[in-house]
Amino acid sequence: DAKTTQPTSMDCAEGRAANLPCNHSTISGNEYVYWYRQIHSQGPQYIIHGLKNNETNEMASLIITEDRKSSTLILPHATLRDTAVYYCIVRRPHGSSNTGKLIFGQGTTLQVKP
Amino acid sequence: GAGVSQSPSNKVTEKGKDVELRCDPISGHTALYWYRQSLGQGLEFLIYFQGNSAPDKSGLPSDRFSAERTGGSVSTLTIQRTQQEDSAVYLCASSLFPGQGDPREQFFGPGTRLTVL
C-alpha cells in the first residue's frame, strides 16, 4: 500500500474550517484514500474515504487532486471536540491479495483552539 | 446498536505472566483485526481474522503472541511470558465481510491498556 506524508501538527481556531493535507504520490489506480481520527484515549474512528471523486459526509469533505497524488480533509466548522490525531491511509480494496488491514503513519495532531 | 467492546479496559501484570485480551466485534461483522499502539508509537497491525481463520498473522511480533476466534465472533489475543516491551494499548476492529473490491470501513473498540511491570 502507498505511503502517505502528513504534517506533524496543525492548529485551527474553533468555528473555522480545518484543512488537513496528505501527500500520497505513489498511489496506485485502485487504491483508496481513507481518513481516520483518534481522539485521546479512544480507538480510531472512521471519517471518510474516496477513490477519485471528492466526497462529503456529515463529518467532513475529502478533496482528491486530479492526479490523485494528494488529498485534503476538510472539517468545515471545527469544534474543540475535533481535537485529535488525524490519519490519512491509502490502501487497496480488500481482495485475494489484500486483507484490508490499515497501515497507520504518525498522522497529524490537530489542536482546535477557542 | 452496540459497538466493538474489549475487556478488560486495563490490565496490569508482572513480567513473565500470561495475559488474555478479549474482543467482541459488532454482530454480523466477519472480519476482525487486532492492532497495538505503544507509547509514543503509531498503530501497528497484528493479525486479521476472516471468520474463524487467520489468513494474515504477519504483524504478530513473536511466537509469544497468539490469537483465536470462535464462532465467528469473539476473539482472544494471548500473550505468553509477557515482557515490558509488550506494554501498549491493544485495539480490536471489525468490519463487514469485505467483498472483492469493497473498501469497508473498520470500527474500533476502546482498547485494552496493558502494563507489564
Residue B2's pLDDT is: 82
Contact B82, B115 (CB under 8 A): no
Contact B71, B49 (CB under 8 A): no
Contact A104, A3 (CB under 8 A): no
Residue B74's pLDDT is: 96
- In the predicted model, is pLDDT for residue B9 greater than 70? yes
Contact B14, B65 (CB under 8 A): no
B42: amino acid identity, one letter:
G
Contact B8, B112 (CB under 8 A): yes
Residue B113 banded pLDDT, cuts 50, 70, 90: very high
Residue B36 banded pLDDT, cuts 50, 70, 90: very high
Would you call B44 an interface residue with chain A, using a CB distance cutoff of 8 Å? yes
Residue B98 banded pLDDT, cuts 50, 70, 90: low
Peptide bond into A21 cis (omega under 30): no
The residue in chain A having the minimum alpha-carbon distance to the alpha carbon of residue B47 is A101
Q: Can you tell me the mean pLDDT for B32-41?
A: 89
Would you call B96 an interface residue with chain A, using a CB distance cutoff of 8 Å? no
Q: Can you tell me the mean pLDDT for A68-91?
A: 96
List B residues 60-89 in contact with A (Cβ-Cβ < 8 A).
Answer: none
Rounded to a whole number of angstroms, the distance from the CA of A71 to the nearest CA of chain B is: 18
List, for residues A36-77, the tens digit of each pLDDT value: 999 998 999 999 999 998 999 999 999 999 999 999 999 999
Mutation target among A5, A94, A98 for the B interface, most CBs of B within 10 A = A94
Strand, coil or helix: A80: helix
